[in-house]
Structure 1
Amino acid sequence: MTDTQQWWRHAVGYQIYPQSFFDSNHDGVGDLPGVQAKINYLKDLGVDFVWLASFYPSGHVDSGYDVTDYCGVDPQFGTLTDFEALVAALHATGIKVVIDLALNHTSAQHPWFRAARQSRTNPYHDYYIWQPSDGQTPPNNWQSVFGDSAWQPNPATHEAYLHSFATAQPDLNWENPRVQQEMVQIIQWWADRHVDGFRLDGVTHLKKRADFADVADPRTGYYQDLAGVAPYLAALRPVLTANHLLTIGEAGGVDMTTAKQWLDPTTGFFDLLLEFDHVHFWEMAEPKLPVAALRANLTKWQVALEGHGWSALFIENHDLPRAVSYYGDAVDYPRRSAQALGMWYMLMKGTPFIYQGQELGLTNADFTQIDQYRDLDSCNYYHRQLATGAPVANTLKQLAAKSRDNARTPIPWTGKAYGGFSTTTPWIDMGPDVAQRNVERESHDPLSVLTFYQQLIRVKQSVPALQTGRYELIDTYDDQLYVYRRTYNGDNWLVMVNMSSQIATTQEFDLTASELILTNLLVDSDSDAQQIQPWEARLYHLRQLE
């Protein structure tokens, strides 16, 4: 594969959640024409491609990931003509387009499933996964990721169907070659409409245990057969390769050996993998990882994939809380910690993804009542916890920290009503950041998070060592520091980030002959390299490192 075909190795991506990006038709819901209206913003930010979260026609149970038609656009987001116009406009600006594809399940309202559930002899019945059922007792102890039984009775056939996610999201049967062929045709259909790639959603869920036995871990023990997933992914490889499409795999739970196999440029299936060792993805009650664990987990992946694959770098997406609230200090150092976190992850080896609003330093939603939440998982969790006797206040506190809705509040474009996102009440409440953190204000502030992200993007895109250079973790005296070096053809760069709200002390570096290229503090280049201020981030171009 040529360097031109591997354009993503030198690119910065930007994830758009259309529902919350910009409302062009004043109905309170963001849409595809709204994305097109903000292309100049994306151009000024400097990103190379956008990843559009699910915009397909949907049953609206799980934020668009219960798809009813893989070859269309949900009316709330616009039309297929709107999509084609958006792609053309982005391409005219030099920005490529990646879209989501949910492989594991459809909506229960999808025509395939509506036919499948009618009888066992229906041609679409084997598109899904079934077990005999009396309608009372589940076939086994398998649970969905939302915590309930993974089985839903279907009286018409005296069976239950499997749903690894919501009840309204029946799992597809990837053992059926017809399902594989359907997905091949869907990929080609979108390739014909000039998309540049896909993020393949939930790929580690595709292979289920064939014996349908009880498992020790009811939440994950029945589907994490990674070797069994390979034949399914192999069926998609020809159409993806023939169309030169970027492939991004959502790959939670993938081990290093499998990751190397899946990323192999000759025999693998993906160009990039999204792995989640640096976040606690589904567990509401789990705290954030300490800095030492972050160093260990991220370094493990950086080292393992050196020469074997390419990392997708991210700290936010539509399923995660805001990074400033999760990793940083949203109270005392919101701006500085947002900037420090940006430098920390973006300058590692890999393709960085920025999630909409991250570049503004947006914080969590700060919701205080359950009726403010729209996320299915959050609402289900709330009611499950209350059913066990958990205090309301404690449950709401957990949701405030980890709910997926934290990342789904609308983008504040201005400090005006509804943040300039819409002229009417948005589908979900605005976050708490409208007055202080909005595009209009930050665009005119040379010290803003937005300005810092623009600088980070330019540095990442212009320095070969920060793209393809080797990553090396540097030991420090202070556990709150994350320091690493990037090296390429003798060109050395040092990233130094204090990931805490206290002054940190590092080992002595001789940086007097080096150049401080970027920092989020106004410091002199000969300042004490051993004393790192709270949430201070520095990028040095090294001439000497001792």
Structure 2
Amino acid sequence: MNKNRKWWKEAVVYQIYPRSFKDSNNDGIGDLNGITEKLDYLKNLGIDVIWLSPIYQSPNDDNGYDISNYYSIMEEFGTMDDFNNLLEKIHKKNMKLIMDLVINHTSDEHPWFKESSKSKNNKYSDYYIWRDPVDGEPPNNWESRFSGSAWTYCESRGQYYLHLFSKKQPDLNWKNEKVKTDIFKMVDWWLNKGIDGFRMDVINFIAKEQGLPDSKRPDSPEKWSSLPKSHKILNELKNEVISKYDVMTVGETPFVTPEDGHKYVNENRNELDMIFHFEHVNLDNYDGKNFLKFKDIQSKWYKVQEQGGWLSQYFANHDQPRPISKFFNDEEYREESAQLIAMMLLTLPGTPYIYQGEEIGMINVGFNSIEEYNDIRTINKYYDMLNKNLAEEDFFDKLKEKSRDNARTPMQWSDQTHAGFTNGEPWLKVNSNYKIINVKRSINNPNSVCNFYKELIYFRKNNKDLIYSDYKDLLKKDKEVYYFKRSSNKNVYYIILNFTGNLIDLRKKKIKLDLNKLELCNYNNYDCKKLQPYEARLYISKT
């Protein structure tokens, strides 16, 4: 296993979705000064690295993932002075800051695209992917990840441009060396400013197959996901820019397999430090609550770490419904479910990523009409279904479960109006459960989700051999219990998790724990012989 010590392997990362974190000026939108206000909270939680979702200038077609100026701050979030102040204060508290790097596409309002769309003969004409119509139709059958064709016609050029996402997010042409030069220059500018790394958005999409042929299916990724050229670009970015700084990189890589994932993170290849794969969080799309499959995914991906790479661990982010609602019990056993997730997150191999609100057990929102949603993907799918003449009741509830807005509702700080997020009108409706689920209430309860996270983070920081320990699933075929161990030269850690709402007799599972020391449990009245619903335990023994 890869046991070379790095600060980013030992870190606990906290993702902030700035629009929804804390509003300091009461315009209803979270901002940089609001984040600065809450740094003591994050430090007290035990956070080492803060990851900010995009804060660059953007027309906000996709909430900041459509960037119109890489060198400016979105006015709604503040100014560059506000950012500099935030960065300085983060560093003074011995924390680090990583930013989102969105370089598969820009906004159609970026100056590069404005110029590119004017003609076929100007400095920026080849910065994006343009193709002539074929019999008056788009040049191939590719579909956008946000519904509909991946091509939009531009009258001024008489051509189509490619956008794997919204039509306001044209894909950059990475075959153009000038694009690479300008992007590398921008990356160096931010690193020189003092940030501590990047999370790279859909970074495995940046290369497209030569000739842009039709896909087997319009929504199939085989023509634009993890092609060899993407590895070459990342290797060049690492060698020419990133290697000059002591920073971390993590790539978002949808559709990636462990075999290809290993190429991205193998230390000898100089591409990325970690990636986010999607197999475990997408289980509900194809296999429901199949925890056998979940365990198999963990073991399969652990081989990446055994073979010289490093893993990330996450269950929530700005694109995923809340995991308690998706996989566990968000009603009777909400807190126990949240604490079970915390135990997995902070004891499985890899660097853990906590998403805002996860540490207090926030759950899905369940809006009642499409007018309450903001997410472009949710809204597009809704109208696609209506256009197919499906009755709303046939798909709306399912759409609610999947909406990215479940993760984007404002952070619930207190039981005050709008959950203490703002004194104005929030940009997105606050979850109605904020009087019960909020930071203030959680901090003041010693048995809360938040305090369980703090205990686990403290334990992880004080037992660094756990971070570099080997991993083994001890009960591979069991559908109810996840029982695994982490082994080092110093200690053996045993983690036992009840994935069900039922009592589990440990004797029937042939699990013997008599000689081990119980370090952490999410129940005060635990029973040595039985696991209670969604119970999570951590034992330790000396080797």
Counterpart of 2:537 in 1: which secondary structure?
strand
Q: Does 1:351 align with 2:351?
A: yes
- TM, length-normalised to structure 2: 0.96
Q: Aligned partner of 2:311: which letter? A: S
- In the aligned structure 1, how far is the partner of 2:121 from the partner of 2:198? 34
Provide the residue aligned with 1:514 in structure 2.
Answer: 516
Aligned length: 538
Deviation at 1:260, TM superposition (A): 2.0
| Counterpart check, 1:534 vs 2:540 | no
1:234–1:327 CA distance, 2 compared to 1 (3 A): same
Q: Which amino acid aligns with 1:160?
A: Y
Q: Which amino acid aligns with 1:234?
A: N
Which residue pairs with 1:333 in the alignment? 333
Q: Spell out the pairing of 1:124-143 with structure 2 (5 A cutoff).
A: 124-133=124-133, 136-143=136-143
Instruction: Give the AA of the match of 1:50.
Output: I
AA in 2 matched with 1:534 = P
The whole-number CA distance in structure 1 between the counterparts of 2:406 and 2:25 is 24
Q: Residues 479 and 225 (structure 1 numbering): CA distance in 2 closer, same or farther, change over 3 Å? A: closer
Deviation sequence 1:29-81 (CA, Å, 0-9, x none): 00000000001100111110100000111121001000000111000000011
Shift of 1:543: 4.9
Q: Which runs of 5+ in 1 are unaligned?
A: none
* Deviation for aligned residue 1:287: 6.2
Q: Which amino acid aligns with 1:184?
A: F
For residues 177-188 of structure 1, the aligned pairs below 5 Å read 177-188=177-188
AA matched with 2:194 = H
Once the two structures are overlaid, the 10-residue window that deviates more, 477-486 or 71-80, is: 477-486
Contact 1:134–1:159 (Cα < 8 Å) also in 2: no
Distance, in Å, in 2 between the alignment partners of 1:200 and 1:286 is 26
Q: Which residue of 2 is the match for residue 257 of structure 1?
A: 259
Residue pairs, 1:289-300, within 5 angstroms: 289-300=289-300
Could you say which residue in structure 1 is the equivalent of 2:192? 192
1:446-461 aligned at under 5 Å gives the runs: 446-461=446-461
Amino acid at match of 2:277: E
SS at the partner of 1:354?
strand
User: How many Å separate the matches in 1 of 2:534 and 2:307?
Assistant: 32
Matches of 2:258 and 2:536, distance apart in 1:
30
Could you say which residue in structure 2 is the equivalent of 1:224?
225
**Displacement of 1:539 after TM fit?**
0.4
Identify which range, 132-141 or 2-11, moves more after superposition.
2-11
Distance in 1 (alpha carbons) for counterparts of 2:235 and 2:69: 24
| Matched-pair contact (CA < 8 Å) for 2:465–2:490 | no
Distance of 2:389 and 2:287 partners within structure 1: 21
CA distance 1:261–1:312, change in 2 (3 Å) = same
The CA deviation at 1:505 is 3.8
CA deviation profile, 1:299-340 (whole Å, cap 9, x unmatched): 110133214111110000000001110111012211111111
When residues 5 and 87 of structure 1 are mapped into structure 2, their CA distance, relative to the original with a 3 A threshold, is farther
Rounded to whole Å, the distance in 2 between the matches of 1:477 and 1:162 is: 45
- The aligned amino acid for 1:495 is I
1:412-491 correspondence runs (5 A): 412-475=412-475, 478-491=478-491
Give the partner amino acid of 2:224: Y
Amino acid at match of 2:171: D
Matched residue SS, 1:427: coil
Single out whichever of 424-433 and 28-37 deviates more from structure 2. 424-433
What TM-score, normalized by structure 1, do the two folds share?
Answer: 0.95
In structure 2, the partner of 1:60 is 60
1:268 equivalent to 2:270? Answer yes
CA–CA distance in structure 1, aligned partners of residues 12 and 306 of structure 2: 19
Native 8 Å contact 1:135 1:155 kept in 2: no
Distance 1:230 1:307, change over 3 A: closer
* Contact 1:344-1:482 within 8 A present in 2 as well: no
Q: Which moved more, 1:474-483 or 1:495-504?
A: 474-483
Listed as ranges, the gaps of 5+ residues in structure 2 are none
Q: Deviations over 1:486-526 (max 9, x none)?
A: 001041000100111122344223322211100001135xx
1:465, 1:486 within 8 Å by CA — same for their partners in 2?
A: no
Question: CA 1:443–1:465 in 2, change beyond 3 Å: closer, same or farther?
Answer: same
Report the Cα offset of residue 289 of structure 1.
4.1
| 1:140 counterpart SS class | coil
Kindly indicate whether the alpha-carbon contact (under 8 Å) linking 2:334 and 2:361 is maintained by their aligned counterparts in 1. Answer: yes
Q: Distance in 2 between matches of 1:206 and 1:188?
A: 19
CA distance in 2 between counterparts of 1:406 and 1:31 reads 20
CA contact 1:362–1:437 (8 Å) conserved in 2: yes
Quote the residue 1:100 is aligned against: 100
Secondary structure at the aligned position of 1:125 is classed as coil
| Residue of structure 2 in register with 1:342 after alignment | 342
Q: For 1:360-391, what per-residue CA distance to the aligned partner results, in whole angstroms no more than 9, with x for missing partners?
A: 10000111110010000000000001111222
Using a 3 Å threshold, how does the CA distance of structure 1 residues 145 and 476 change in structure 2: closer, same or farther? closer
Secondary structure of 2:64 counterpart: coil
Q: Partners of 2:49 and 2:135 in 1: how far apart?
A: 47
Query: What amino acid maps onto 1:312 in structure 2?
Result: S
CA–CA distance in 2 between the matches of 1:74 and 1:307? 41
Asked if 2 retains the 8 angstrom alpha-carbon contact of 1:134 and 1:158, the reply is no
The amino acid that maps onto 1:224 is S
Q: Is the 8 A contact 2:13 2:48 kept in 1?
A: yes
Query: For the Cα contact (< 8 Å) 1:414–1:440, is it kept in 2?
Result: yes
Partner of 2:37: 37
- Equivalent pairs: percent with the same residue? 34
CA distance in 2 between counterparts of 1:232 and 1:145 reads 23
423-432 vs 385-394, which deviates more?
385-394
For 1:241-320, what aligned pairs fall within 5 Å after superposition? 241-280=243-282, 288-320=288-320
Distance 1:182 1:245 in 2: 20
1:493 counterpart SS class: strand
C-alpha distance in 1, partners of 2:89/2:375? 31
